[in-house]
Structure 1
């Protein structure tokens, strides 16, 4: 009778019985590291950049894009390609958005399956970023009209003027308020007053291009930031706004008009002086005095 002796050798580096266990530990370690990195930002573009560094190990793509019903983002340096592969991202069967890879050649099935597995690490950071951006948007939005609020205006005017100084362009500012608005509130109630405000906000929207920014400071005070502006652009917007107000049936019913003041950024301006000049022009219009745009 023969005896089989099994000998443990702790010095053997390779052990076939532990090969797959080692691979699993390595994969889990990489996934954990990726999950931790994805949680370091609430910016969608940054999250996509982090994720793309891992995804490129499994598939060759030239662009990575995310789009949802409320927002979108893309990997830095993304370029369109001949083919695209779309993945619907879901959390507990709830659709949060679509992730798109720009490809120059078909995606292998193994890569497809690996990416689907990695997407389970991506969905929650993306969802958190979307919720964060929605909260920021609400904090910057006027609840009645949906326009930007004063806090948003303060941020945008600084950004726009800084960009204009770097690019050698100018920012135009239009401020406006409603004539006889107090009488509407006093005689017809705040419900009608709210209707007047929303109709005037719509008149603003109809009077500007998409690139301009609209704001309600509160009460019946509104503002428009116009980038890459000149005197003619401000005059055109003012004319369009007056036309929209004059042709609105509800504003006409309550005999509500608008006073408008415009100012064009100069080299000496900061956000405060630009606003003061536009506001002064508004006040002069109320007094039926001419107001000339400053151009330096």
Structure 2
């Protein structure tokens, strides 16, 4: 049977414990059972955890320290803001868990596991060493949140042009290395200016969000949706040929056309025009986007609510 020992550790309490641990005779006696290695690991963690702002790397370094001191097999970190937990190592039978907070703010939950049950002095060592983790973990979480804000479009929730520039450059390099196709869709909402002019920008914003959500639901989890500006979006389709990209584009077009969108109870028809381009050997990010953009305008000129693709090379 799995044995789990749970505790709640407040950030400020853990810091206080770290500062005062050497002042308590009973604490010194319990931690002395860990030998001089405890102080060595503590010093290493205080230094090493300050060297990165990546959440996963911070947790890996902390796990490494616990592994050296207590033979902890695995660490698992969960945070309500992330759909998937971070796991380091292989989970084992006996576990102890901690819910971590700072000044009432939730920072996440940590669970440690190993084959042998944790003794009281070992739990004290973990709780004391958590004081070395919490500042770096909080800073890494703040950095990640700031990075997400910088790369996300606040209105639609999609990624923004900065994220597109970064990810497209990366995907082009990967495509050239792996010899896998890379396709790109540029889509624009048809007659969007009329929605803004007739109903106002607040309703126009609602239409933008509705289309973005509809497109997202039509994509695979590995695809990326980016707001290029205004009512124009880009979809990155990794490992996707021209033919497969056309199927995705048609699925998006039909989904938006069939979307039930209403303003004050009045149904408002929305459609999109799409241009599909596939990476060529001589392409860079700008040339690929420009070709997709021109093809999207071709779709507009041909009557809107359609997909235009380039001729196969």
The TM-score normalised by the length of structure 2 is 0.78
- Aligned counterparts of 1:96 and 1:50: Cα–Cα separation in 2: 18
Alignment partner of 1:267 is 2:281: yes
How far is 1:254 from its partner?
3.0
- Aligned counterparts of 1:85 and 1:230: Cα–Cα separation in 2: 48
Q: 1:100 to 1:30 in 2, by over 3 A?
A: closer
Alignment partner of 1:191 is 2:205: no
CA displacement 1:40-97 (0-9 Å, x = unmatched): 211112212322232113322333232211245444xx33445544322222454311
CA displacement 1:99-157 (0-9 Å, x = unmatched): 23343443333322211111121112101100111011011111110101111111111
The TM-score normalised by the length of structure 1 is 0.83
Structure having greater relative contact order (Cα 8 Å, sep ≥ 6): 2
> Which residue number in structure 1 is paired with residue 151 of structure 2?
140
> Which residue number in structure 2 is paired with residue 219 of structure 1?
230
The structure with more strand, counted as a fraction of residues = 2
How far is 1:270 from its partner?
1.6
- Aligned counterparts of 2:280 and 2:76: Cα–Cα separation in 1: 39
- CA contact 1:175–1:279 (8 Å) conserved in 2: yes
> Which residue number in structure 2 is paired with residue 154 of structure 1?
165
- CA contact 1:184–1:193 (8 Å) conserved in 2: yes
The number of equivalent residue pairs is 274
- CA contact 1:52–1:64 (8 Å) conserved in 2: yes
How far is 1:170 from its partner?
1.7
Task: Say which is worse superposed, 56-65 or 184-193, in terms of deviation.
Answer: 56-65
> Which residue number in structure 1 is paired with residue 268 of structure 2?
254
Query: What pairs with 1:1-296 in structure 2 (closer than 5 Å)?
Result: 31-71=42-82, 72-75=85-88, 78-82=89-93, 84-92=95-103, 94-250=105-261, 253-288=267-302, 291-296=308-313
Q: 1:287 to 1:83 in 2, by over 3 A?
A: farther
- Aligned counterparts of 1:122 and 1:28: Cα–Cα separation in 2: 15
Structure 1 unpaired stretches of 5+: 1-19
